[in-house]
């Protein structure tokens, strides 16, 4: 029997359509095998030796004089830092110059790695770079929100194979985020708690959608998952802002991020995915109502008219089954 499930925080509904139920192998069946990549690709602008094909690095992690990770301006930036944030009118419509920050984190010199099969130390470097860049960018006077994300594979919207993440910082808190925040405020005002803390507690209590749990984090297939194998990595301790992650938190996050992505990699034969760090606005310091997390969205299905028209996603898998499959992944 199909069912609607509600995301306790955002109040968004999903349809879990068990009548069309799919198993993990249904998502890999008939899919093109991913090509094996070389460790170094001559034409790749992110490979060592081609540093002149990108804007210069302004943040580098090195080892024995060679770079292990570099951060550069996005050469095809959708936003630019040298503009104003003043609202302007076009007749009765509103616009703003495309002010913002757009950076690329080149995660490793190796063309053929991905977080799922990277050394732990390299994954840690990525999170360190995220945090360091977060702090630096957050100091910008007009920056309201810093969006850190990773597009893995063509279906996830990336054209470059070389492992990289992106950071786009904007001078606006959009309705998509503001509405989520408003719900957390309403809940906090009523119940005196952070709704995400409540969700994490409930998920850990119900157990069946938990994939991994560490000292600082838990990875979970959310009760109201919109996509097959949608996952969230929640910090267990309340924190509204990714920038506040501790050094110990970084090591733990690197471990759970790699382990979770590795389970996906094995169970679903390296699926395309997006991941996003959903952090509170940069002017949030210790607010009680919001809670940051990392969201992993595998690209296994297509969004169609119903989803676009209602915001309700039809999910053809049970999150409980996705979590079970991932828990049972063998190396």
Q: From the candidates 111, 152, 164, 291, which is the catalytic residue?
A: 164
Report the relative pairing of strands 66-73 and 88-90 from DSSP bridges: unpaired
Spatial contact of 106 and 72, defined as CB atoms under 8 Å apart:
yes
Is 9 or 325 the residue whose CB approaches a copy of itself more closely? 9
Q: What is the DSSP letter of 19?
A: G
Contact, 227 vs 7, CB < 8 A? no
Sheet holding 273-278, edge to edge: 57-63, 66-73, 101-106, 164-170, 145-152, 273-278, 293-298, 231-235, 217-220, 210-213
CB of 247 to a copy of itself, least distance (A): 25
Is 135 noted as a catalytic residue in this protein? no
DSSP run (H or E) holding 201: helix 195-206
CB of 287 to a copy of itself, least distance (A): 19
Tokens 């990289």, residue located: 164
Shortest distance, CB of residue 72 to a copy of itself, whole angstroms?
16
92 Cβ contact partners less than 8 Å away, ≥ 6 residues apart: none
CA distance 211 to 213: 7
- 230: nearest Cα among 220, 239, 240: 220
Q: Return the number of the residue (131 or 150) whose C-beta is nearest a copy of itself.
A: 150
Comparing CB distances to a copy of itself, the nearer of 65 and 76 is 76
* Lookup: tokens for 328: 């049972």
To which residue do tokens 């609607």 refer?
4
Nearer to a copy of itself, 21 or 248 (CB): 21
Pick the closer one to a copy of itself by CB: 83 or 185: 83
Q: Name the minimum Å distance from CB 293 to a copy of itself.
A: 11
Closest contact distance (angstroms) between CB of 248 and a copy of itself is 26
List active site positions.
164
């Amino acid at each position: 029997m199909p069912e609607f499930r509600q995301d306790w925080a955002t109040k968004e509904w999903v349809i879990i359509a068990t009548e069309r139920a799919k198993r993990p192998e249904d998502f890999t069946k008939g899919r093109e095998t991913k090509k094996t990549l070389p460790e170094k690709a001559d034409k790749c602008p992110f490979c060592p030796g081609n540093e002149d094909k990108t804007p210069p690095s302004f943040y580098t992690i090195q080892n024995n004089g060679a770079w292990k990770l570099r951060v550069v301006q996005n050469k095809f930036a959708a936003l630019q830092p040298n503009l104003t944030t003043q609202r302007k009118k076009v007749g009765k419509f509103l616009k703003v110059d495309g002010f913002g920050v757009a950076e690329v984190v080149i995660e490793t010199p190796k063309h053929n790695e991905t977080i799922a099969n990277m050394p732990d130390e390299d994954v840690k470097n990525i999170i360190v770079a995220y945090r360091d860049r977060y702090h630096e960018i957050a100091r910008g006077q007009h920056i309201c929100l810093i969006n850190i994300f990773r597009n893995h594979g063509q279906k996830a919207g990336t054209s470059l194979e070389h492992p990289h993440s992106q950071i786009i910082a904007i001078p606006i808190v959009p309705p998509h985020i503001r509405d989520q925040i408003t719900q957390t405020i309403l809940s906090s005002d009523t119940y005196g708690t952070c709704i995400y803390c409540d969700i994490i507690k409930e998920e850990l209590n119900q157990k069946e959608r938990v994939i991994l749990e560490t000292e600082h984090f838990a990875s979970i297939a959310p009760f109201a998952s919109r996509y097959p194998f949608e996952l969230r990595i929640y910090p267990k301790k309340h924190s509204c802002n990714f920038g506040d992650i501790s050094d110990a938190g970084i090591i733990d996050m690197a471990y759970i991020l790699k382990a979770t992505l590795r389970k996906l990699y094995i169970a679903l034969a390296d699926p395309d995915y997006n991941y996003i760090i959903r952090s509170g606005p940069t002017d949030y310091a210790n607010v009680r109502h919001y809670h940051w997390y990392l969201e992993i969205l595998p690209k296994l299905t297509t969004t169609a008219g119903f989803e676009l028209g209602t915001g309700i996603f039809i999910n053809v898998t049970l999150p409980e089954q996705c979590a079970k499959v991932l828990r049972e992944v063998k190396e």
